[in-house]
Amino acid sequence: MNILETILATQNGGAVKQMGQQLGLGDDQAANVLSVLVPALAGGLQRNMQSSGGLEALMGALAGGQHSRYLENPAALGQATADGDGILGHILGSKDVSRAVATRAAQQTGLDASILKKALPLVAALMMGAMARQSSGSTMTAGASSPGGGLMSMLTPMLDSNRDGSIVDDVLGMLGKFGR
């Protein structure tokens, strides 16, 4: 199961409902926000994992961050903004990139960019929760030929938009769009 599917399915959509309530959105709108923002953030996560020490930092954050609480108890998402902002800093690197992601997502969803800016830290926290949940089941390395291989299997379906088996061209295209 990929990250987006994990978030959408957990607690019968409880995290989606909670996020929607916090942002003043219906369940369908919140799910749409997730379907746009999760792949964008996954691209940044992929880039960070390939940097020196990036995979190790992610594994450490997953092991010690207690991020799965956002999926186990969706009400905890109410206190996720600070944690999510920290995660965004690591994934995207700057507020300018975060703003660009929110602006692009607003164009894709038809929602106001201010709502997407508020959604970003919540989505980042939910993503880490989904990855932490999956990593606790040892899917991060099960069957993987290299560390993080299982994590890559969670990210790849969202990043390979043209279904050519390679995410390199897709991630580069995403990052190019955000750098404009």
pLDDT, averaged across the chain? 77
pLDDT higher than threshold 70 for residue 174: no
For residues 95-122, average pLDDT = 93
Mark residue 136 as left, alpha or beta (left: phi above 0; alpha: psi -120 to 50; beta: remaining).
alpha
Q: Please tell me the predicted confidence (pLDDT) of residue 175.
A: 45
The model carries a pTM of 0.75
Q: Please tell me the predicted confidence (pLDDT) of residue 38.
A: 92
The domain tally of the chain equals 1
Q: Which domain holds residue 53?
A: 3-178
How many angstroms separate the CA atoms of 131 and 13, rounded? Answer: 17
Element (H, E) at 129: helix 113-136
Structure token pair of residue 26 = 């219906």
Q: Which of 37, 32, 36, 2 is nearest to 131 (CA)?
A: 2
> What does the H/E/C string look like for 91-127?
HHCCHHHHHHHHHHHHHHHCCCHHHHHHHHHHHHHHH
For residues 134-153, average pLDDT = 48
- Which position has the higher pLDDT, 149 or 56? 56
How many angstroms separate the CA atoms of 80 and 70, rounded? Answer: 8
